[in-house]
Structure 1
Amino acid sequence: MKYKFLIKHYNNNTYIYCIIRKKYYLFTKEEYVRQHMLYYLILNKGYDFSSIFVEKIYYFNNLKKRIDILVYKNNQPFILIECKSSKIFSKKVFDQIIKYNFYIKSYYLLITNWINNIIFKIDFKNHIILFFNEIPNSN
């Protein structure tokens, strides 16, 4: 999928416009992945702008952390998304999102570098992790 991002150049830096936060951010690999995911959620999966939060601040054990993307459905956390640059994809990231979800309690978890997605949910009752091939639609 190819999306048309708003890009601007200023003082030898490149910036990309965030459609949720309504302002430009430094163009990094992670921000590029984040913007791809936002466009995909809205244009391809039918999520509403108002249901998506970007870099939402949470406190975990008194440590301030930013959640890359959190999608709500029926006023409940539905998809917790961790965006990484294409080179960062490790067990550490998997552990991080599970730790965050201990507090957030999102239905689905997603780790993405836009090339690969790991979509899963934790079935606490049966003590298993269920993996999915596709990001769920909004309906």
Structure 2
Amino acid sequence: MNAERDLTRLLAGMRPELDPGRYVFTTVDGPAPDGVAPVVTVAESEGLTLVLRQEEADAAGLAYDYVASRITLRIHSALDAVGLTAAVAGELAAAGMSCNVVAGFHHDHLFVEHARAEEALAALDRLAERSGSLPD
């Protein structure tokens, strides 16, 4: 499957899917501790940021202050596609919701406040509907 670049097609076909887990952002000095399997890592000068399931962070005694849900946009977006991140973040911002976006090779993943995950999913579904349906 080829990665999609057209913004209209990306939005109309994004098919947001809510992961039932709870995720947290934390940071460590050095490598990730044994027993944790982060879904995202970011190396920063201050330390290694880990995004992982809350239960793993709790078991490892890692501190965090933000609990998120993960929404995956199921369309295969091209890494050089223009506007998808801005459109989805803008839609959620208009509803007063934060959004931390991580681009994977195949999909974009949105981390939103856990307590508002269903609301975020509904907002993204409305954005997809407004963008039109994909041709057959």
Which bracket does the TM-score occupy, shorter chain normalised? under 0.3
Q: Whose strand fraction is larger, Structure 1's or Structure 2's?
A: 1
TM-score normalised by structure 2 residue count: 0.27
Q: TM-score, normalized by length of structure 1?
A: 0.27
Task: Kindly name which structure, 1 or 2, has the bigger radius of gyration based on alpha carbons.
Answer: 2
The structure in which a higher percent of residues are helix is: 2
